[in-house]
Structure 1
Amino acid sequence: MNAADAEIPMVFARALASLRSAATRSGLLLREVPGPTRVAPYAVALTGSLLRPGADDDDLADGRFIVLHDPDGQADWQGTFRVVTLVRAEVDTDMGVDPLLNEVAWTWMTDSLADHVGDVDALGGTVTRVVSQTFGVMAERAGSVELEIRASWTPRTPDLGDHLLAWEQMLAAAAGVPRLPDGVSAIHRRR
């Protein structure tokens, strides 16, 4: 979001300002990275990691949040903006083999949008899970299941702060972090 404001359309500058002002949760580490340059004339990309409480380098989930803007619009987008997201998290092995996991993960995404944004246009995406099983000398180690949710949609307004918060909620859901009412904190177990 370091583009010179004089070089970008006002509507894109408004979108950037709304992202900057979004009040994200503590424990979400956001970084700006280069946006895709071939897809749209204007883009901003953020990577994010939802950190384990009390740990500075142990993430529960990570992903990307990308905003694309084409003043001329694109037919597939059904508008001039497009939000593209990725969420990745390792999930419990028992949960990871549940045949309904993909549908549940997609519901996390749609519920997050409903909670923060409301209606969007041209919503689409995929849910992928990768199940790893160990063998040989590694057989005693537990396998793992990685979940990946990719989604994109067209916002109905350039005010994108709530879209960032919806993505943050998707990260939390994939990480198994409970959604609590404002002012309520989770009590973490001692290990």
Structure 2
Amino acid sequence: MSQINAPADFLTALESLKGHTFRHELHVTQIPPPQRIAPWAVALQAEVNDSPSLDPDFYRGNAKFVVLYDPSGQPAWDGTIRIVTYVAAPVDQAMSVDPLLGEVSWAWLVESLEDEGARYSNLTGTVTRSYNETFGGLQLSSSRTDVEIRASWTPLTVDLTDHLQAWAAYAAAVCGLGPDGVASIRPVNEEM
């Protein structure tokens, strides 16, 4: 995406996303943003993984943070900037059947935004749990339940620092990490 002729507010938003340090389990990179949703956009992705080399055995989940900017605004946004997030993580068997999984996952997002002081409006989204079975030959070789959260909101400022930090904290929580600086015990994979 070219920043040539980008509006000042979008450039300010971009600048606010630079230079952040995240906890070591969040491996954040810039990815191509979605096309045709807004005239200007930027996207980040994080793989949440305990291993510096992204060893698949230490994978905890992934997350995306997308900033959309339309100087004309869009009616559903009630503003010119919209943040869209996606977080997905495997959950253990006991959590996967908990009827409050959706409510708790959503509450963590609201808490993360509030804890970081991220001012917003029009928060909407979904929480989905999916059960996947993988077959090799004629037998079930593995099964896994994932939780996926899709959310979007309109920030009330063009400085998105608090929103980015809230997203990072939220991704860490959904992916089973304790508070930053506190070690968490990784669950042992049980064979089914």
TM-score using structure 2 length: 0.86
Distance between the aligned counterparts of 2:145 and 2:93, measured in 1? 6
Return the letter of the residue paired with 2:64.
Answer: R
Give deviations 1:63-94, integer Å, cap 9, x for gaps: 21100001111111010000000000001111
Q: How does 1:75-154 map to 2 (within 5 A)?
A: 75-132=75-132, 137-138=139-140, 143-154=143-154
SS, match of residue 62 in structure 2: strand
1:186 corresponds to which of 173, 177, 183: 183
* Contact 1:14 1:159 (C-alpha < 8 Å) held by counterparts: yes
1:30 corresponds to which of 28, 31, 34: 28
Q: How many residues align?
A: 183
Give deviations 1:26-56, integer Å, cap 9, x for gaps: 2211222221221110000111111124553
Structure 2 unaligned blocks of 5 or more:
none
* Contact 1:21 1:161 (C-alpha < 8 Å) held by counterparts: no
74-83 or 117-126: bigger deviation = 117-126
Return the letter of the residue paired with 1:145.
Answer: T
Instruction: Give the superposed CA RMSD.
Output: 2.2
Distance between the aligned counterparts of 2:47 and 2:184, measured in 1? 21
Deviation, 1:115, is 1.0
TM-score using structure 1 length: 0.86
Structure 1 unaligned blocks of 5 or more:
none
Distance between the aligned counterparts of 1:45 and 1:146, measured in 2? 23
Which structure shows the bigger proportion of residues in strand conformation? Answer: 2
* Contact 1:92 1:145 (C-alpha < 8 Å) held by counterparts: yes
Distance between the aligned counterparts of 2:184 and 2:84, measured in 1? 33
Distance between the aligned counterparts of 1:171 and 1:31, measured in 2? 14
Runs of 4+ in 1 over 6 A off after TM superposition: none
Structure 1 equivalent of residue 10 of structure 2: 12
Change (3 A) 1:36 1:137: closer
